[in-house]
Structure 1
Amino acid sequence: MSDTGEEWQVARRRKGAARRSNTFKPCSTAAACCQEQLDVGKTVKRIRETESELRCEEFWKDWKEQLLVAGSASLSKPPENKKDTEVSIDQVEKGRDDRTSQHLECVCYGLGSFSSCVSARFQLAMLLLLLDAGQIPLKDCSVYDPAFSSGERDVLRELGLTVLTENEEGKRSATKPTLFYLMHCGKALYNNLLWKNWSTQRLPLMIIFGNSFNGMRDRAIEREFKRDYRYISQAADMCEERALPCPSRLIDVFSDTAVITFPSSSLNKLPQSAWTEPHEPQYQHCPDLEIIQREARS
């Protein structure tokens, strides 16, 4: 594995250390040297077995229900910037039909090396369950992690997912209702994602399955958190968070996970000035940044 991949894994282990249980051993980078020669068929089979295991878990029903509720609310939003008086009956009916046939897109960052890490394999299996429950076509789910080996990328393509080739650093615009699946990712990645979608039009399009914003804030020094992660800090005051259940044996896999949405009515909690010309995060005060930044092009 490259140095970049190793750094990513170290970051994942470090930020998850406080939550680690004895159920799963931490992700190992030692096994990474064998990932390039993965048996794709056997790896896919293991993932499917894990998927079946999770499907039988009681807590999965709650995750599924929360996705369906959030997805339905996001997809049922009427078109933006159109007055009723300007829309004909035919246009209204067409819009309703279009929204009925719509589905969420999905973006997954930071999954980790699922061929050598049990926790990452469970997280991938959960992603596949959510895609199935939300009727999201596999090809409409884009995944990226600098830790992926070429063999793991082959596995993901075999599963039908779209593997991104560029490190977006989380800076992905939501142009339609989108599920962002970010299991135990670094704060900078969440902050970048929020910055890229920092408007009253785009935030309501986002559904995040990831770590609680309030939890991040509670564990940080307030002054530093507001300075370094201003978008998470502001979002925590206006988003809706619904904690997701997690059995004790999977505490290292799904702990502190919530469904995070941004109802349009809640965005009014911020003054208009908060939406004007949002500045791109720089993180000059964060020497221990939990994200792998893409290399600057010469």
Structure 2
Amino acid sequence: MGSGRAWRCVCYGLGRFAACPTARLQLAFLLLLLEMLAVPPSHCFLFDPAFSELELAALEALGLRLLPENEEGKHHINGSPTLFYMVHCGKALYNNLLWRNWSVGALSNMVIIGNSFKGIEERLLSRILERDYSYIAKILKGVEEVALPADPRYSDTFNDTSVHWFPAHKLEGLSAEVWEFVEEPTYEECDDLEIIRKGEEGRQHGPAPAQP
């Protein structure tokens, strides 16, 4: 991640770490990752509709920042190299993130730590992948992926988790048709949508968090 520019981090779907040991381990890994990559906590933004008020306060005490609303994964990097930490998130979140940053310039400045794209491809029928998660389907030939090392102590914490990045030369080698269709995903035919849509959170945050 040595681009010479300051990196930032966006974390989705961390979960209820006050009650869940797996989520606590994922939070600990995130904090160690930020330290290793020299990303200040104030440059890391989080959202999960499941966070309790106690958890929101704990994250703020750690110096992390909260995204102001449910973006459904549609976070544009706005020219800043960005690490997305999305362990065990729903497929639509990855698909939405790719759609929002659907250009060589944006994708080549992103790294995603989350569910293996290869695993998604292997588990879904190709027609379902192309219909419901078309941006994941289209990026498979433009992504590099390395699985996190397996450790039996953390098999439930990081199973099926990979580091994904998008080399500019691979993206530029994709056909022009790949980049021409940029319609926002709607998931109208999706039977098992794995994300909470904006407005369906069922609770409100406390004071408005800082804008990224």
Same fold per TM (> 0.5)? yes
Cα distance, 1:287 vs structure 2: 2.7
Q: Stretches of 4+ moved more than 4 A in 1?
A: none
> Does the alignment pair 1:151 with 2:54?
yes
> Does the alignment pair 1:286 with 2:190?
yes
> Does the alignment pair 1:201 with 2:79?
no
Cα distance, 1:204 vs structure 2: 0.3
Query: Which of 104, 107, 113 does residue 7 from structure 2 map onto?
Result: 104
| 2:35 aligned partner | 132
CA separation in 1, counterparts of 2:140 and 2:153? 28
CA separation in 1, counterparts of 2:69 and 2:147? 31
> Does the alignment pair 1:218 with 2:122?
yes
Unaligned runs of 5+ in 2: 201-212
Q: What's the CA shift string for 1:125-154, capped at 9, x where partnerless?
A: 000000000000100000000000111000
Cα distance, 1:281 vs structure 2: 0.3
Percent of paired sites with the same residue:
49
3-state DSSP of counterpart to 2:130: helix
Give the paired residue count: 199
| Match runs of 1:25-44 below 5 Å | none
| 2:164 aligned partner | 260
CA separation in 2, counterparts of 1:150 and 1:197? 31
Cα distance, 1:277 vs structure 2: 4.6
Greater share of helix: 1
3-state DSSP of counterpart to 1:142: strand
| 1:160 aligned partner | 63
| 1:237 aligned partner | 141
CA separation in 2, counterparts of 1:135 and 1:220? 37
CA separation in 1, counterparts of 2:167 and 2:68? 32
Query: Which of 81, 95, 102 does residue 191 from structure 1 map onto?
Result: 95
Q: What's the CA shift string for 1:51-78, capped at 9, x where partnerless?
A: xxxxxxxxxxxxxxxxxxxx12xx1xxx
Query: Which of 50, 74, 79 does residue 171 from structure 1 map onto?
Result: 74
Cα distance, 1:269 vs structure 2: 3.2
| 1:8 aligned partner | none
CA separation in 1, counterparts of 2:158 and 2:192? 23
CA separation in 2, counterparts of 1:249 and 1:179? 25
Greater share of strand: 2
Query: Which of 21, 26, 50 does residue 123 from structure 1 map onto?
Result: 26
CA separation in 2, counterparts of 1:246 and 1:112? 22
CA separation in 2, counterparts of 1:158 and 1:120? 17
- Could you state the TM-score of these two structures normalised by the residue count of structure 2? 0.91
Unaligned runs of 5+ in 1: 1-70, 76-98
Letter in 1 for 2:75: R
What RMSD, in angstroms, separates the aligned Cα atoms of the two structures?
Answer: 1.1
| Match runs of 1:5-16 below 5 Å | none
CA separation in 2, counterparts of 1:224 and 1:273? 20
CA separation in 2, counterparts of 1:291 and 1:129? 27
3-state DSSP of counterpart to 2:184: coil
CA separation in 2, counterparts of 1:150 and 1:227? 38
